[in-house]
Each structure stands twice: as C-alpha cells, then as structure tokens.
Amino acid sequence: MGMSITLDTAMRALMAQQMGVDNVSHNVANASTVGYSRQRLTMHAIPGSFVGDGIPRPGMGVEVVNIDRVRDLFIDYQMRQQFQSAGRYDAQAESLQRLELVLSEPGDGGLRGSLDGFFNSWRDLANAPESPSARTAVVQSGQTFALAANRVYTSMNVLRREADSRLQGAVAEINDLTTEIASLNQQIGKMVATGTPSPDLSDRRDVAIDRLATMLNISYVQQSDGTIDIAVGGHSLVTGHIAQTLVGVPNAANSNYIDIQFQADGLALNTSGGEVRGLIDQRDVDLPARIADLNSLVSAVLTDVNAAHNAGFGLDGVTGRDFFVGTDASDIAVDPLNIADINRVAASATAGGVPGDGSNASIISDLQYAQGLLGGTATYDDFYGNFVASVGVDSAEAQSRLQAQNLVVDQMKLVRDGTSGVNLDEEMVNLTRYQRAYEAASRLVRVADEMLDTLINRTAV
Amino acid sequence: MRISTVGMTERLLVQLQQAQLRLAREQEQVGTGKKLNRPSDDAFGTARLLETQTRTENNMQYQRNIAVAKTDLTASESAMASLHDVLARAAELATQAASDNLSASDRANIGLEVGQLLQEAISLGNTKYAGRYIFSGHQTNTPAFSPDVAANPTAVTYNGDTGTIDREIAQGERVRVNITGDTVWPGVFTTLIQFRDDLMSNNFPGVQNATAAIATQIEGELNLRSEIGAKTRRVEMSEVRLQDEAAMLNIVQSGIQDVDLADAIVQLQIQETAYQAALGVAGRTLNVSLLDFLR
C-alpha cells in the first residue's frame, strides 16, 4: 500500500506545482492589464489518514484549495469616494477654464476693450461733432461692443449646450456600465454557486464600478451570493443581474436640455457627486448665473445709452431716437437706421446746437463713470471687473481642488497597486520556487519507481 | 512596502508629467513675458489689471482731447493775434490822421487802407480751422460774419450763436476752447467802419475820437487773448499730469502682469534640471529587472 501512496503524493505535488507555474504565467501575462489583481494559490497539506491503530502516518501531500485575488476592498471603497469628488471638480474646472478662454481677459480682444473703446469713440465725437468719420466711428465701435457681447453670450450658451451633450454621453456610458455590472453579477453569482472562484470577473466588475463612481455618487453592497448591488441617491441602479436604465428626457422649460430619469419608474436621477453632478451644476446653476450677470451689464449699457441718446439731437435736428436696439447681451445691436444714416447719431444737446455742439456725446461718454450698478456702487467697468475676477477665483479654486483630489487619488492608487499589482521580480522568484518544487516532485516519482523496481524485480523469485 | 512593476513605471510617468507641467508653466512665463495670462492665474490681479487698462485707455483719450484743445486754442489765439495787428495798424493810422496838416485827400487815402483793414478783420472773423468756422459758436458750418456790401461794407452781421465748445481734458474736467463772434468782433467792425467813413468824409472830430475807440477794442481783444493764454497753461498742466499718470499706470500694469525675467529664467533652468533628473531616473530604473540576473 505504501508505494502507491508515495506515487499519488508525488503526482499531487506535480499537479500543484504545475498550477503554481500556470498561476505565475497568468499573473505575468496580466502584469499590465488595467484593473487586474494578482492571484494567489492557496495550498493545503493533506493530513495522513487516521485509521485508529495508533501507528503514525505521514501526510498525503498537497492540494490547491483556492485561487483568489489579492484585493483590499476597503481601499476600493475609499477610492470610489474620492473618484466622485474628482469627477465633479473635473467637470467644473474644465467648464470654467473654457469660460476663461471665452472671456479672453486680460487683453484687448475682450468685452472690456470694446466697452471702453465705445465710450472713447463718443469722446472723439464730442471733439468733432460735425465730422462724418467720428460719427461712423461711434456707430462702428457700438457695433463692435454689441457683437462682443453677443459673442460672449453665445459662447457661454455653447458651454451649456456642451455640458448637456456630455450629460447625454454620460447617460449612455452609465447604461453600458450598469448593464455590464449586472451581467458580470449574473456570471459571478453562478460561479459562486458552483464553488468555482472568479477573480478575473471580479476584477472586470471592479473596473466598471470605479468608472461608475467617477460619474455618480454611488453606494454599493456586496451580497453573500457574490453579486454587488448599486444604488444612487436612494434609488437602485443595479440589483443582482438587473440594471436600471437611465434616460435623458428633453425639458422644454430648460432650453430642451435633458433631465435624467430612470426609465422604469420615471423618477429623477439624484446624485450629489460625480461628473454628472458637476455637469448639471455648470449647465443649470453656474453658467446661467454668469449669463444673468452679463445680461445685467449689457442691458444697463443699452438702456442708459438709449435714454441719453433719446434726449439728444442728430445732425438732422431730430430728437427722441434710440442708439441701440435689443434687450440684453443676446440681441443687442446698433439700430440699423443709425448705421444707414450716421446723421441720426445725437451728438448735440439742443436742436439749435447742431452741428457744432458735442455736449450730448459728452453726456453719453460720462455714463462710463456713472455708478449705476450693484445698488449704485459700481460703474460698468467695475461690474465687469468683478464678473471676470469671480470667474478667475472660481476657476482657480476648481483647478486647485481638482489637483488636490487627483493627488489623493494617485496616492490611493499606489496603495491599491501595492496590494494588488503584479511585481515581475516576485513572480520570477515564485516561478523559480515552483520549478524547483516540480523538479523535486518528479525526482520523487523516479525514487518511487526505483524502489518498486527493487521490490518487484530483485526480491521476488 | 510592496510595489508592482507597472505601478513603478506609472509612478515614474506621473513624476515625469508633473516635471513637464512645471517646465511648461515656466516656459509659458518666459515665452509670453507675462505671469498673468488668464483670470485664474491671479483673479484679484486681473480685476486690477482691467481697471488699469481702462484708466490707461481713458488717459490716452484725454491726451488726444488735450491735443485737440491745444490746436483749438492755438487757432483762436493766432486769429486774435492777427486781429491785434490789424487794430495796431488802425491805431497808427488814427494817430497819423489826427494830424492838423493833412488834406482831405490824404485822409481819404488813409480811409482806403482802413477799408482794407476792415476786410482783413472780417476774413479773420471767418477763420476756418479743421473744417470749422471757429468764431460761429455751434454754427461751425456757417461763416461767422457777412458784410452787407462785399466791396464796401456798411454793416457786418453775426451769423453764429453763443454756443460753447468744451474739451474734456480729464475725468469730469472740461475747458471751453471757443470764442464766439458776439464778443469783441462787432465792436471792432463798427469802430473800423466808423473810422473809415469819418476819414472819407473828412470828419475831423470823428477822426480824433478814433484813437480812443480803437484802444477800447484792443483792450477787449487783449483780455480775450490773456484768457486763452490762461486756458492753454491749464491744459498743458493737465497734460503733464496725464503723462505722469500714464507712466505710473504703466508701472502698475507691468507689476501686475509682467514676469521678472531673471527670476523666471532661473526658475526655468531649475525645472529643466529637475526634468532631466526625472528622465535620468526613469532611464535607469526601467531597465532593471530580476530577469537580467536569472540565467
């Protein structure tokens, strides 16, 4: 009986070391696979059979009882908390940086340059009210200012529109991710039920959950059957093998931008973090507030200049005409009639003052110094300076938050990688270890063979 | 602590990227010469910079306005100076004509010259500068004065109004730069017409009164010119003030946005060295593996 046990033990050892080599090979092959966790064999010694005759017997070798991945689930949890902040700041920082480009301040190409140029053109007109070229310059610089205001307004709305299309993309990506997680849940559940571990599928699911965490403020629970349930804002997103599909429904009351809802019950998606929150905040809160500020500035210029212009007289002696048409930054323009006939520009304060009186032009240029905004404390330039500075402050803050957040995420990645990543040197050492053990086990087979040879061929005659 | 092989290369990559980012930032500063390229670089500085830019542009506008004001004042001054020459010559002629031993025809000859002086005075009153009749008030397209008879005027009408023309020479500060034709001019014309007619008709008492009448006109004309002189000095003082302010604004603006080049270049070199060091580390460590030693 003894010899066959020796051979069996040697065979189990060969198989176990073979699996060890295979495992090294799997780890090495996936050394640079995203989200891969190194896998580890758990080997147990098989105890000798207990017969009850009091005779001690050696153990029966080794068996591989498990292959599992080396993973710290708490680090995963912590990282996903950071991911959703990083995703939110990322959306915010990017939008604000692009807004800075739109404003193109400090520089001569921004709204400030055209606003100041507009008032200085009135000062030139006051110097030469009879001059057609000074009148043309006033009309043109008015048009330059109006176009600059239109451009900033349009570009800010383009930023909103882009946030919206990124949200539509996010909805599609979230649906892909939840579908993938649900289907992985199903496969993992089956394998757990049959007792076969599935570390590679778990890795794939973790990659998907990581990505989902940058988009939404998710919470998740690992169930005993191996599946993971995910919820967002108190609403289930994935339960077992069922994923809740999100849909973007255009909202007519909000420029046809989408509201994100759950398809099944029509409830609104509610997330306090992640890229989705950042994008919604930019689209519905931050940018609209800044557009409203721009509009108050441009409307004030438009109304004040028109009121003063109405009181003046054109070269043709006619009074009571507007300079600008429109209501705010979206549609301000110089009245086309004034472009067609520059004599309508009201430089004179009295009918009798035509053509040499430029005092109404001076009244208009003095509007630049009137503190009519922010409750009578700010000039147009003050207001605009505050407007630009607040974009700068918020952008700088979002960038530094994002940077700090990324630093934290990078550090945590290192910690996670320290636990789960493949180290090739370590794998080489393991390979050598399994190889030597394999050699020793095959040597056992030969020794057992020689012993059987001795027993069978040399003793029995 | 454990580290994975890929983690090591990733960490190296992050370090390289950070070194590169810092290098790029320094390069932007040295390249543009500016440390403030967008509002988020320095939000408070941006607000101050915008304010400084507005003040600089308005300052330049006021300097342009002052240039206009100075030529306006010069145009009035030089016309008035020529008027002075006319009146001074008339005063000379008045002294001559008041002499007892002149015949009627001698006085008539002087009268002819006074007639010429009158024509010159009218044409000075109609001085046009930069396309504008400068003594017409707001009626800058209308000649200020028209004689009833072109060859031998007996009356001169003022066609302008009393409109003032101001130049804004600093924020909220305006200087009137025009003299309207209703000031000394009508008196000058009537005095010259009267003098000429008295000479022609050999009205000796009238001729004797001319000297005093002309002196009154010269006094009025000199008063106006001294007023112009005072305004010119005020405008010039404002110009000096604006030039000082422009220089000061320039320094402020440069302080907010310009890079200290020496400092920036040193920083750039430091970042370059750091980047090279990071590259060197990457080059060495990436090539080392146990595989090189297991044979």
* Cβ proximity of A384 and A152 under 8 Å: no
Report A:413-442 residues touching B (Cβ under 8 A): 413-414, 417-425, 428-429, 432
Parallel/antiparallel/unpaired status of strands A218-222 and B173-176: unpaired
Write the pLDDT tens digit of every residue in A96-154.
Answer: 999 999 998 887 788 999 999 999 999 999 999 999 999 999 999 999 999 999 999 99
Report B:246-265 residues touching A (Cβ under 8 A): 257
The CA distance from A118 to A120, in Å, is 5
Shortest CA gap B54–chain A (Å): 6
- The amino acid occupying position B173 is E
Q: Do B39 and A357 touch (CB under 8 A)?
A: no
- Using the Cβ of A34 and the Cβ atoms of chain B, whether some distance falls under 8 Å is answered with no
Residue A448 has a pLDDT of 87
- Using the Cβ of B173 and the Cβ atoms of chain A, whether some distance falls under 8 Å is answered with no
Residue/partner pairs of A365-373 with CB below 8 Å, 24 or more apart:
A365/A119, A365/A120, A365/A122, A365/A123, A365/A126, A365/B168, A366/B172, A367/A119, A367/A301, A367/A304, A367/A305, A367/A308, A368/A116, A368/A119, A368/B58, A369/B171, A369/B172, A370/A304, A372/A300, A372/A304, A373/A296, A373/A297, A373/A300
pTM, 2 dp? 0.85
Nearest CA in chain B to A386: B47
Question: Is 50 exceeded by the pLDDT of residue A25?
Answer: yes
Which residue has better confidence, A6 or A139?
A139
- Using the Cβ of B21 and the Cβ atoms of chain A, whether some distance falls under 8 Å is answered with no
- Counted across chains A and B, CB pairs separated by less than 8 A come out at 170
- Name the one residue in this structure whose structure tokens are 């342009």: B64
Residue A274 has a pLDDT of 94
Question: Is 70 exceeded by the pLDDT of residue B15?
Answer: yes
The CA distance from A186 to A69, in Å, is 19
Nearest CA in chain A to B135: A356
Query: Residue B238, SS3?
Result: helix
Share of chain A above pLDDT 70, in %: 99
Could you give the angle at the alpha carbon of A122 between the alpha carbons of A118 and A125, nearest 5°? Answer: 135
Largest CA distance in chain B: 141
Q: At what angle do helices B104-125 and B43-97 cross, to 10 degrees?
A: 170
Q: Do B46 and A392 touch (CB under 8 A)?
A: yes
Question: Is 70 exceeded by the pLDDT of residue A87?
Answer: yes
Residues near B99 by Cβ (< 8 Å), separated by ≥ 6? none
Residue A341 has a pLDDT of 96
* Cβ proximity of A27 and A423 under 8 Å: no
- Using the Cβ of B287 and the Cβ atoms of chain A, whether some distance falls under 8 Å is answered with no
Question: Is 70 exceeded by the pLDDT of residue A461?
Answer: no
Residues near A267 by Cβ (< 8 Å), separated by ≥ 6? A235, A261
Write the pLDDT tens digit of every residue in B253-275.
Answer: 999 989 888 888 999 999 999 89
- The amino acid occupying position A261 is Q
The CA distance from B127 to B220, in Å, is 19
Q: Do A422 and B161 touch (CB under 8 A)?
A: no
- Using the Cβ of A72 and the Cβ atoms of chain B, whether some distance falls under 8 Å is answered with no
* Cβ proximity of A314 and A125 under 8 Å: no
- Using the Cβ of A96 and the Cβ atoms of chain B, whether some distance falls under 8 Å is answered with yes
Write the pLDDT tens digit of every residue in B224-258.
Answer: 999 999 999 999 999 999 999 999 999 999 999 89
Q: Do A106 and B50 touch (CB under 8 A)?
A: yes
Shortest CA gap B293–chain A (Å): 10
Confidence of residue A460 (pLDDT cuts 50, 70, 90): low
Q: Do B57 and A399 touch (CB under 8 A)?
A: no
* Contacting residues of A for B171, CB less than 8 Å apart: 369
Write the pLDDT tens digit of every residue in B183-233.
Answer: 999 999 999 999 999 999 999 999 999 999 999 999 999 999 999 999 999
Residue A364 has a pLDDT of 97
Interface test with B, best of A423, A430, A435 (most B CBs within 10 A): A423
What's the Cα-to-Cα distance from A291 to each of A96, A152, B114, rounded to whole Å? 13, 9, 73
Residue A1 has a pLDDT of 47
ipTM of the complex: 0.85
Q: Do A116 and B58 touch (CB under 8 A)?
A: yes
Q: Do A421 and B38 touch (CB under 8 A)?
A: no
Q: Do A100 and B294 touch (CB under 8 A)?
A: no
Residue B284 has a pLDDT of 82
CA atoms within 13 A on the CB side of B89: 16
Residue A58 has a pLDDT of 84
Write the pLDDT tens digit of every residue in A362-408.
Answer: 999 999 999 999 999 999 999 999 999 999 999 999 999 999 998 89
Nearest CA in chain B to A351: B138
What's the Cα-to-Cα distance from B280 to each of A43, A219, A384, B3, B5, rounded to whole Å? 43, 43, 49, 20, 18
- Using the Cβ of B293 and the Cβ atoms of chain A, whether some distance falls under 8 Å is answered with no
- Name the one residue in this structure whose structure tokens are 């998907």: A208
* Cβ proximity of A338 and A307 under 8 Å: no
- Using the Cβ of B76 and the Cβ atoms of chain A, whether some distance falls under 8 Å is answered with no
Residue A2 has a pLDDT of 67
Nearest CA in chain A to B58: A120
Write the pLDDT tens digit of every residue in B107-164.
Answer: 999 999 999 999 999 999 999 998 899 999 999 999 999 999 988 999 999 999 999 9
Confidence of residue B12 (pLDDT cuts 50, 70, 90): confident
Tokens of A269: 């998606």
Tokens of B40: 């988020």
Beta bridge partners of A251: A257
Which residue has better confidence, B29 or A253?
A253
Length of chain A equals 461
Q: What is the mean pLDDT of residues A341-347?
A: 96
Interface test with B, best of A40, A101, A120 (most B CBs within 10 A): A120
Write the pLDDT tens digit of every residue in A170-219.
Answer: 999 999 999 999 999 999 999 988 888 789 999 999 999 999 999 999 99
The CA distance from A270 to A81, in Å, is 16
Shortest CA gap A402–chain B (Å): 14
* Cβ proximity of A152 and A162 under 8 Å: no
- Name the one residue in this structure whose structure tokens are 């006109």: B217
